[in-house]
Structure 1
Amino acid sequence: MKVGLQLGYWGAAPPSNAQELVLEADRCGFDGVFAAESWGSDAFTPLAWWGSQTRRVRLGTSVAQISARSPASLAMHAMTLDHLSGGRAVLGLGVSGPQVVEGWYGQPFAKPLARTREYVDVVRQVLAREAPVRNDGVHHRLPYDGPGSIGLGKPLKPITHPLRADLPIWLGAEGPKNVAQTAEIADGWLAVYYSPRVGPMYEDWLAEGFARPGARRTRDDFEIAASCQVVVTDEPVAERAKLKPSTALYIGGMGAPGMNFHAELFRRMGYGEAVADVERLFAEGRREEAVAAVPDEAVEDVSIIGDADYVRERVAEWQKSGVNTLLVGCRDAEQLSSVSRVLDLAA
């Protein structure tokens, strides 16, 4: 099992100890460092800034939102980071949700699967640099010939020669159709709120994608990177309680009414009644009660918290269920080092 450090996205200010964590991850055997974005900090700049002092870890976006940049612009970011890091970039992409896409980026959210497919195709054309980039699709037309066009657009190849044409592209996906498409067109899947207990369900969705004509990879060379809080502790109850506020936020407040993909994940795990309670309480502004309504079992399903033996046992379960990489958020260097020691990452 590989382990990556998940930096996430910033709150009101940059995390004060991020550089320390990144360097410790590079030193003690973590496989990668990943950064995210929502509607504040971006995913690429932290990797370039803090990652510039690393020598070994992969530098990945988890995730970069496809509505934030045109696919050609995103490919420029990726190949620039790949050159600067000596071929260590991982490009993680995701559609986000309608509130962010339409409310923050001013882009339409409809048809996210089709938009993603076109987006990935354009990025791969840029990275391949075999011919001027064209796309005749509906969502990312190149050259652009829609409303406002003056008809002078020219198909172009990137001036810079990409370091790797096969720079890995991972997709964040949550529903069955999206996961199946990810298996078909991507190199890896970024799974959020993954639970080994429903691993067979995910394997069915993935199998559908791998079976499609022209699928890029097989199950054997496809990477599943799952976000998972890993805490080595003798007080698991207290540590799980610390995760409930963020879990309640994602279930109750990080999606539009009737379209919350995170809430659907927990419903598929069998927590439908609790999800309804959290959503209702969150919508009524009763956030403390919403946090209290998150079941202990739901947190335990999607995290690994306990003593060293328990952590090793649970990591083995996640690996057996198909996960190749755990993306772990660490609040300090001590937590990061404890994960490394227990899982023998530096060996």
Structure 2
Amino acid sequence: MTRWGITLPLTGIPLPAQRELVKSLPDLGYTDVWSAETAGTDAFTPLALVAEWAPQLRLGTAIAPVYTRGPGLLAMSAATIAELAPGRFVLGIGSSSPVIVNGWNAREFSEPFAHVRDTLRFLRPALAGEKVDGDFGSFSVKRFKLERVPEQAPQVMLAALRPGMLRLAAREADGAITNWLAPSDVPRVRAELGADKELVARVFVCPTEDVAAARGLGRLLISSYLTVPAYAAFHDWLGRGEDLAAMHAAWQAGDRKAANAAIPDHVVDDLVVHGSVEQCRERVCEYVAQGLDTPAIMVLPTGADPISQVKALAP
């Protein structure tokens, strides 16, 4: 089955005002709604609304950080959405970033690989309704048992940017969720994950034919994300280290304007989909042709009506 996802809620529109759009998504050809969690809505509440508004859609978190909730609360949140959307919920978990975990949530960010791995190993029995008790390595849990066990446990996918996490997802999870990659990068990621696991990617789409505006917004986002150590290492692995070296140097020097200017046009064009709606849709299809199972389109602000853009980007 070819999947076509959208990231909700849309920026700048009140969540209740997105109800009619959500109801229309299945008829437009969308199969999935994916949420995000940074400093806007939490990852779970919008999906509870979507479960009611459009019960045909599959729902997913991309992603819920493993540090900002305790293991038990994370299992409870996931079980709630799984109860609302039986067989149609994917729990995507990941480490997030030091800024979000430590800077914004006052939690220690340490051993991210181990913490994600151990959270996955806790969630499997917890979401199946088993009593969980023991030391998982990076944390311990004492006698946790869900009071409301979902009829069908959700799939669990891992946010994965490099071989170690991709291979963990291949061994122990139901798939991987990735971010900030070009269509040409998909085969390399797929090779580490394997052919039998689902690969989801958030695809940043800026539907405008104003190339300068699209690249300007793309540069702001790229410098914000790709200077985070995990994303920097990801793009080194993908082969963009040399292209992004000047950006990193300027960023380290505290000159954000120079960092943005140092990002080559071709890097922006690789990582941010822009152009007419038709061109954007074709570009997203390139990801699928290269081996991506599920694009989770993230519509970037262009000044136009994002609801109309989501409808126009439908498959």
TM-score tier by shorter-chain length is 0.7 to 0.9
**2-structure distance, mates of 1:5, 1:312:** 12
1:228 aligns with one of 203, 221, 227: 203
Kindly state the Cα deviation for residue 138 of structure 1 after the two structures are TM-superposed: 2.3
Q: Tell me if structure 2 keeps the 8 A contact 1:22–1:51.
A: no
Q: After alignment, is 46-55 or 176-185 more displaced?
A: 46-55
**What are the equivalent positions in structure 2 for 1:1-347 lying under 5 Å apart?**
1-7=2-8, 18-19=18-19, 21-39=21-39, 41-129=41-129, 131-143=130-142, 155-165=143-153, 167-207=154-194, 219-220=195-196, 222-231=197-206, 234-236=209-211, 238-252=213-227, 255=228, 260-307=229-276, 310-311=279-280, 313-330=282-299, 331=301, 332-340=306-314, 343=315
User: Match of 1:113, as an amino acid?
Assistant: F
- Of all paired residues, the percent bearing the same amino acid is 31
1:28 Cα shift? 1.6
TM-score using structure 2 length: 0.85
Partner of 1:160: helix, strand, or coil? Answer: coil
Return 5+ residue gaps in structure 2 as ranges: none
Unpaired runs of 5+ residues, structure 1, are 144-154, 208-218
Match of 1:211 in 2: none
Give me the CA root mean square deviation: 2.8
Deviation at residue 228 of structure 1 after TM alignment: 0.9
Contact 2:157 2:173 survives alignment (8 Å): yes
SS at match of 1:34: strand
Native 8 Å contact 1:231 1:335 kept in 2 = no
Calculate the TM-score normalised by the size of structure 1: 0.78
Relative to structure 1, the CA distance from residue 108 to residue 196 in structure 2 (aligned partners, 3 Å threshold; closer, same or farther) is same
Computing the radius of gyration over CA atoms, which structure comes out larger, 1 or 2? 1
Deviations 1:246-282, CA, capped at 9 Å, x for gaps:
1121123xx3xxxx11222333343324423223333
Letter in 2 for 1:34: W
Name the aligned partner's letter for residue 236 of structure 2.
R
Tell me how far 1:314 sits from its aligned partner. 3.4
Give the match for residue 214 of structure 1.
Answer: none
